[in-house]
A and B are shown apart, each in its own frame.
Chain A
Amino acid sequence: MADARAQTRTPVDLAPVTWWFMVRTMVGARIRAQAGFRSSFAADLASQLLLAATEFVEIYVLLHNAPVFGGMNLAQATVVYGLACVAFGVADMLFGQLDSMHSFIREGRLETLLVRPTSLLLQLVTADVQLRRLGRAAFGLAAYLFALSICGVEWTPDKIALAALAPVGGILIFGALFLASGSLHFWVLDGQQAGNAFVYGGRYVSSVPAGALMTPVRVFFTFVVPATLVAFVPSAVLVDAPLPEFTTAGMAWLGIPVGLALWAVVLLVWRAGIRRYTGAGG
């Protein structure tokens, strides 16, 4: 029986290396490896949760001193924070590896990836899926759902749809920011902190009620780095909080379209970066 099966199975080196095969194999291995170190994994997860919680404490402290902040009260601000955490936590887990492009290039490891027959991006993304970053997403989800429930939202079908789709848009946007930051390394090796400005600055902005930001800053983080579209605008629409200048209710739905558009643009930049790095570009 076993022999017959062995004969009919396609030899691995003839099977097309599809995206799905790679993702399944590598991610599966990473997950098994990480879940293996039970206690350290649990500790990592806990520390991510704790990190998200302490950052929330900061928001709490700000609002503690000013009951309405950027047009929102504490419960409403928590919706924003929770939604941002979910989006960032998941995006970080999926795409956070791109952050370490700097050390990859420095140590010359990029070369070994480039000579393989699969896309560099796919390899980087599946190289180190950090399950522990879900800790932040878990905290965020809990905060998001809890805060929504105490905000007295008048639930309509489109609000329910918005509440469900907003995280997806956020994940797309943050993912694109990670990729953009990673691409930067093809041009400037020590420029990682500049990239961080947009990824982590964007994250910070997305987690606060953007009405509290100075107009130029808010405009930048809405139309250039669309951080406010991740959490603030959808949340404000959900809880019926006032929207600041240059922001309309319709923009709450822009998360997914903008995220996809951003991905398209950033992928072009990424490809240009690879061409430049391998010397094939102009």
Chain B
Amino acid sequence: MRAYWELAKGGYRRYARYRTAILAALIANGAFGFIRASLLMTAITTAGAAVGGYDLKQASTYVWLGQGLLGAIPLWGATEIATRVKSGEIAMDFLRPVAALGQWWAADLGRAASQVIPRLVPMLVVGTLTTGLALPRHPLPYLLFVVSLVLGVSLTFLAWTLVNLLAMWVVEIRGYHALFMIVMNLLTGLLVPVSWFPGWLRTLADATPFPSMFQTPIDVVMGLAGLEAIGVQAVWLVALVGVAQLMLHRGTRKLVIHGG
């Protein structure tokens, strides 16, 4: 619908303006890229063989792709929705003729779109020039990547929205926020690929949507994962949308009945 397109454009424009922030983020991402690439590559060299399905070049690619996608995929989330709940400003989102979840989702996709090129391309350039990249030469992984990225961004957005919506019931969400960050830091494969995890941790991670948020799009574009992984993303998407709708429905009923 046209409304979602306009909302996405709004999200895009809002974040495309922060040029200094993008530049600063690139510096940070670059620094971390070198650190992470070093560590992963040393581990592979010491092991003498590919680890968890990644050889040296692939590990390097994994790192630089990851650093580049940190802009689009909102791993560290935002507490904007929670703030709106606390201030009551969220009522304005409800007074519009379009569903609130749709409004926020569309805006976030717009935001993500604004961050893809400015943050991914420089990281890939640095990666090519330094530790090397191993990217497929045929188009299919790239097409699948677009789908997987949209799903990854959406999953991350939805997960954060669920944490934010807790503000409708709980006075202080900071604790849940912190807990979420902790779990997410570990299980998304941000620092270490999920396939490197020891058995028990791997099973735990796979039972959550976290690997689907970040690692899956990266594996897809590298040609290491395909439709099956995207299918998993889609299943999680449906699940999280369901939970979000439920929370919103219950939450708005509470707000509307008790005032807020």
Contact = CB atoms under 8 A, between A and B. Distances in A.
Nearest to B36: A204
A58 B192 contact: yes
Contacts of A54: 182-183, 185-186
Interface string B114-147: 0000000000000000000000000000000000
Interface residues of A, number: 41
Nearest to A192: B24
Contact of A201 (B18, B32, B40, B52): B32
A55 B185 contact: yes
Interface residues of B, number: 41
B238 interface: no
A217 B38 contact: yes
Interface in B62-118: none
A23 to B, nearest CB: 26
A240 interface: no
A50 B182 contact: yes
A67, A197, A204, A217 pick with most chain B CB within 10 angstroms: A197
Nearest to B187: A54
Given A47-B178, A50-B182, A194-B28, A213 B46 contact: no
A153 B128 CA distance: 43
B227 interface: no
A214 to B, nearest CB: 4
B39 A193 contact: no
Contact of B43 (A51, A65, A188): A65
A213 B39 contact: yes
B172 interface: yes
B43 A58 contact: no
Nearest to B42: A212
A70 B43 CA distance: 9
A43 interface: yes
Contacts of A65: 43, 47, 51-52, 196
Contacts, number: 111
A70 B25 contact: no
Nearest to A64: B198
Contacts of B34: 214, 216-217
B163 to A, nearest CB: 14
A64 B32 CA distance: 22
Contacts of A190: 18, 20-21, 24
Contacts of A217: 34-35, 38
Interface string B164-186: 00000000101100110111011
Given A40-B172, A194-B28, A66 B47 contact: yes
B157 to A, nearest CB: 20
Given A50-B182, A69-B46, 8 more contacts: A61-B196, A194-B28, A197-B30, A213-B35, A213-B39, A213-B42, A216-B34, A217-B38
15 contacts: A44-B174, A54-B185, A57-B201, A58-B186, A61-B192, A62-B40, A65-B52, A65-B196, A69-B43, A197-B28, A198-B31, A201-B31, A201-B32, A204-B35, A212-B43
- The 9 tightest CB contacts between A and B, nearest first, are A197-B28, A66-B46, A194-B24, A212-B42, A193-B24, A190-B20, A190-B21, A197-B31, A213-B38
